[in-house]
Amino acid sequence: MSANMLKIEAELRQAVIDRLIAASLNDGKPAREATLERWRALGTQSSNMEQKSA
């Protein structure tokens, strides 16, 4: 696995952890919003990488 793929895997793991924390909070709206922003950023990164490899 390349270093870049390992970095993305670590970021995805952290995003999942963030999502679980947000889901466990009673008033988790700020945490949910931050998690959604993170997921969007990861999605943008992965689509950019796919375009570069094509």
User: What are the sequence ranges of the domains in the chain?
Assistant: 3-53
Please determine, for residue 51, whether its predicted confidence score (pLDDT) is greater than 70.
no
How many CB atoms are located within 10 Å of the residue 52 CB? 7
The whole model's pTM is what? 0.45
Tokens for 7, please give them.
């970095």
Q: Do the beta carbons of residue 4 and residue 49 sit within 8 Å?
A: yes
| Backbone angles phi and psi of 52, in degrees to 5 | -70, -35
In angstroms, the CA 33 to CA 25 distance is 13
pLDDT per residue over 13-40, tens digit each?
A: 888 888 777 776 656 567 677 777 777 8
Residue 9 pLDDT class (50, 70, 90 cuts) = very high
Of 25 and 9, the structure prediction assigns the larger pLDDT to: 9
